[in-house]
Structure 1
Amino acid sequence: MQQSHRSADLVRDLYRQGASYIFARKPEEIAKEYGFRQVARLASNENPFGPSPRAVQEAEKALVSMHRYPDTTHTGLIHALREYHGDYSFVTGVGMDGVIETCIRTLINQGDLVAISTPTFSFYGLAAAAQGGVVRNIPRNPDFTVDVPSFISAARDAKISFLCSPNNPSGTVTPVSVIEEILQNITGILFLDNAYVEFSSEEYHQLMNRYDNLIIGRTMSKVFGLAGCRVGYAFVPDWFKPVYDKAATPFTLNTISAAAAIGALSDHEYIRKTIAYVRTWREIFTKETRKPVLPSGANFVMIDVAPLTGDQATDFFAQKGVLVRSCRSFPGLADHYIRVCVGEEWENIRFLEAFRII
């Protein structure tokens, strides 16, 4: 059949111009290219222990109901979140990404301002632009702390602003007092991304009791070990939950993933073990790496590999059977950093051995 138009003309400018999330290389590619049976996977901030046994048990029980649509309100998961965190309002989504996307869809009209503290997770800007938002990036200070006056000035009139703590990729932790100062001086929503907060010593959810313009995003992918299940959730103000539910895509979070999340939330020993292990190895990485390592409250560290670029360092480690993340794709970040997460013990040792000869 002859086409009467060029199909590319149908695609939005945003995507014709190449806007997309940049992924790390696949471990299978590195294994094949350099002849490794196993590659140390230290690029994606995953949990090295695998899923919690309780998460697996609950997921297996839920398999028998996979022919039914999931509970759209995810009553069981919301109850488990309240048991774990306290009596707050929660929403869920397919990963933190799904929660972010739905929050933006709930709030943003064409041309609305979205403020982002950068360098940080690129998906905030991609999702905002996809909804027609106008993105304003506010650079952090040279030490990657938040430039509070600049952020407040830029975010004051924004419909929604994004700040990540601990920040991805720097690992920087923003104190509760700074978050509170921001909340007191803006009129829109602050979306505080807490994907890695369990590995830090900071906690923010008590702010939900004092501010109705705060959303705290969380994920089951990191400390809970459910990256493949794609379960995200957020603390939200009471007024926001009903409109979020209207904007959400129906039947997104599946039954098996929700059940696994319920099991994971109940396995406190698994959570404790993961946090202790990550903190121990994060300190070892910081002490034994012969390059500047940024202070981190996450399950990864960001390392300045100058005079190499991030891509050059990533290629070097790939040749040694170690997959790390070049930070070149993070908006506003100089191209001489890599991000390395804590993996299994053999993976961490292989990384350190490779670093000694870089």
Structure 2
Amino acid sequence: MERLVRSCYKKKSGYVFAKKAEDIAREYGMTRIARLASNENPEPLSPAALEAAEAALKTVNRYPDERVNVLMNALRATYGDFHFVTGVGMDGVIETIIRTLVEPGEKVAISTPTFSFYALAAMGQGAEVVTIPREADFSADPKRLVNAAKDAKITVLCSPNNPTGNATPIPVVEEILEGIEGLLFLDNAYVEFSGIDYLPLMKKHENLVLGRTMSKVHSLAGLRIGYAFTPRWLPPWYQRAGTPFTVNAVSMAAAAAALGDTAHAERYRAQVKRWRTRFTDEVKYPVLPSDANFVMIDVAPHRSDEMVEELARKGVVVRSCRSFAGLEDHYIRVSVGEDWENELFVKVINTL
């Protein structure tokens, strides 16, 4: 019966996950592993978020609020009078926006190398995926991007970009918005670590969506909460196309409470800023400039998987960048973790 599987999935692999710390611990007989592969916040969720989540557990015999009012109210209290949509992680938001707007055969343009799920989600909707390579320094050339994406239904740009870490300047984003005919989905999963504020663009452009996540700065990766700032016209259609009850009651309550705990977020932002500098200064391999909570490192003449395996043998899990299409096979991505994890990484990689 495998003949029933769609041909697009037979031709391309799915999302490539980083090695699991638990698997490496078992393989090498270790009890403590530095987990620096998945861009997670190593700090547990805030006490306020934990308390809200525990209270919400008492209600899970009922379906959650389909309007996600608790979270919507918290988002407006935090950011002001914007329009929002929510989903199961940033992935869920991306998938639903593509489902809402893209007919089979229509074009989705993606600036690469970048997060692979954009192409997987577009492919799943039957879209024609067009990739626009970044420049040698991994910046996005607005003229090149607009020329390739002018007639695309959706153009996807990640800023700060995963896995390269660099952010796209606001004037470049604005030039893209003014040059394309369709929607720009600007993935801001790591924007809290950048110091860049793209929100003023929402007041000027009705073809912009800013995607965000609670997984990084707010320590809620395991609860899978994504949201986006959208133009006024989009939410009613998004709701019509969306899967019912995607945001569960526990995640909703925890996310709303986490938005109010600014001290929790600020601690990790400070940790990221400090360790990006230390990685740059102390690692013997070239560390690319980063506006995210990770850095990308050029480990040539080593190959990506080779370096990941050597680090794993020493108790450090990082991400190989080999699976990022368009990226040469000598880069690794390293998240900012706890002090002991970061220190172990620096110590080990400088011996390799």
For residue 58 of structure 2, give the secondary structure of its aligned residue in structure 1. helix
Pairing 1:258–2:242 present: no
The equivalent residue for 2:278 is 284
The equivalent residue for 2:109 is 115
The equivalent residue for 2:156 is 162
Deviation at 1:293, TM superposition (A): 0.9
C-alpha separation between the residues in 2 aligned to 1:83 and 1:287? 39
Q: Deviations over 1:298-325 (max 9, x none)?
A: 0000000001111000001000100000
Single out whichever of 215-224 and 142-151 deviates more from structure 2. 142-151
C-alpha separation between the residues in 1 aligned to 2:166 and 2:211? 17
Q: Deviations over 1:270-329 (max 9, x none)?
A: 111111111111111111111111110000000000011110000010001000000001
For residue 24 of structure 2, give the secondary structure of its aligned residue in structure 1. helix
C-alpha separation between the residues in 2 aligned to 1:314 and 1:285? 17
Retained in 2: the 8 A contact 1:220–1:226?
Answer: yes
After TM superposition, the score normalised by the length of structure 2 is 0.99
Deviation at 1:10, TM superposition (A): 0.5
Superposition map of 1:44-59 within 5 A: 44-59=38-53
For residue 296 of structure 1, give the secondary structure of its aligned residue in structure 2. coil
Matching residue within 330, 335, 342 for 1:336: 330
C-alpha separation between the residues in 1 aligned to 2:268 and 2:80? 22
The Cα RMSD (Å) is 0.7
C-alpha separation between the residues in 1 aligned to 2:228 and 2:34? 31
C-alpha separation between the residues in 1 aligned to 2:127 and 2:10? 18
Superposition map of 1:275-354 within 5 A: 275-354=269-348
For residue 295 of structure 2, give the secondary structure of its aligned residue in structure 1. strand
Superposition map of 1:154-193 within 5 A: 154-193=148-187
Deviation at 1:356, TM superposition (A): 1.4
Retained in 1: the 8 A contact 2:142–2:173?
Answer: no
For residue 65 of structure 1, give the secondary structure of its aligned residue in structure 2. coil
What number of residue pairs does the alignment pair up? 352
Equivalent AA in structure 2 for residue 70 of structure 1 = P
Please, which runs of 5 or more residues in structure 2 have no aligned partner? none
Superposition map of 1:54-73 within 5 A: 54-73=48-67
C-alpha separation between the residues in 2 aligned to 1:356 and 1:129? 41
Retained in 2: the 8 A contact 1:217–1:233?
Answer: yes
Give every structure 1 segment of 4 or more consecutive aligned residues whose post-TM-superposition deviation is greater than 6 Å.
none
The equivalent residue for 1:42 is 36
Counting aligned pairs with the same residue, the percent is 57
The equivalent residue for 1:31 is 25
After TM superposition, the score normalised by the length of structure 1 is 0.97
Deviation at 1:18, TM superposition (A): 4.1
The equivalent residue for 1:4 is none
The equivalent residue for 2:217 is 223
Matching residue within 239, 245, 255 for 2:239: 245
Retained in 2: the 8 A contact 1:19–1:126?
Answer: no
Equivalent AA in structure 1 for residue 113 of structure 2 = P
C-alpha separation between the residues in 2 aligned to 1:328 and 1:48? 25
Deviation at 1:16, TM superposition (A): 2.2
Retained in 2: the 8 A contact 1:139–1:147?
Answer: no
C-alpha separation between the residues in 1 aligned to 2:14 and 2:44? 29
For residue 302 of structure 1, give the secondary structure of its aligned residue in structure 2. strand
Q: Deviations over 1:111-154 (max 9, x none)?
A: 00010000000000010011000000000000000022110111
For residue 334 of structure 2, give the secondary structure of its aligned residue in structure 1. strand
The equivalent residue for 1:21 is 15
The equivalent residue for 2:204 is 210
C-alpha separation between the residues in 2 aligned to 1:158 and 1:19? 24
Equivalent AA in structure 1 for residue 322 of structure 2 = R
